[in-house]
Amino acid sequence: MAAAEASIRACRPEDCADVARLIRELAEFENLSDQVKISEQGLREDGFSQDPFYKCVVAEVPPECRSKAGHTLVGYGLYFFTYSTWKGRNIYVEDLYVMPEFRGKGIGKKLMSAIAKIGLDRGCTQMRLAVLDWNRPAIDFYLGKGATDLTAAEGWHVFRFEQAAMLCLSSGE
């Protein structure tokens, strides 16, 4: 199967079950399965409401190229828009995932290209993402496509506040 056989399109509400499956696969690959709390219903509500929190593109193969398990949705790129006070509009890629049996066929590049085009069409000046430090294939892929490793180049560290910390902050603690 070649990348040309995989089409990239906007995610639809009826794709949420497959996207949830792919999210679980990605979490398992990253050894973080216990952290996945999102459901198909949550994805549908958060991505397809009047004011969606995210957008998503999916990689779909024809039925004759389906996965060993019978799936035709074999990858996804989930993104949302952010803002830089220095550069203006940004697009943030939360996840980029292609099922292992479909890797090395150009599908990840097609997903990234689609997201980059969406960002450019919306006036974004940067596309940002994070990758685990041990995921050398992903790091090499992004660097090979022109990304800058901000930790190495500028010393930036990414932080996250979990809900408990947010509660403390919101109460003035």
Residues with a known catalytic role? 142
Angstrom distance (rounded) from CA 169 to CA 105: 46
Helix (H) or strand (E) holding 113: helix 107-121
Query: Rounded to whole angstroms, what are the CA distances from 93 to 46, 77, 113, 114, 135?
Result: 16, 7, 12, 11, 16
Beta strand 88-98 pairing with 7-10: unpaired
- Contact call for residues 127 and 93 (beta carbons, < 8 A): yes
Q: Is 82 within 8 Å of 128 (Cβ atoms)?
A: yes
Taking the C-alpha atoms of residue 166 and residue 11, their distance in angstroms, rounded to an integer, is 31
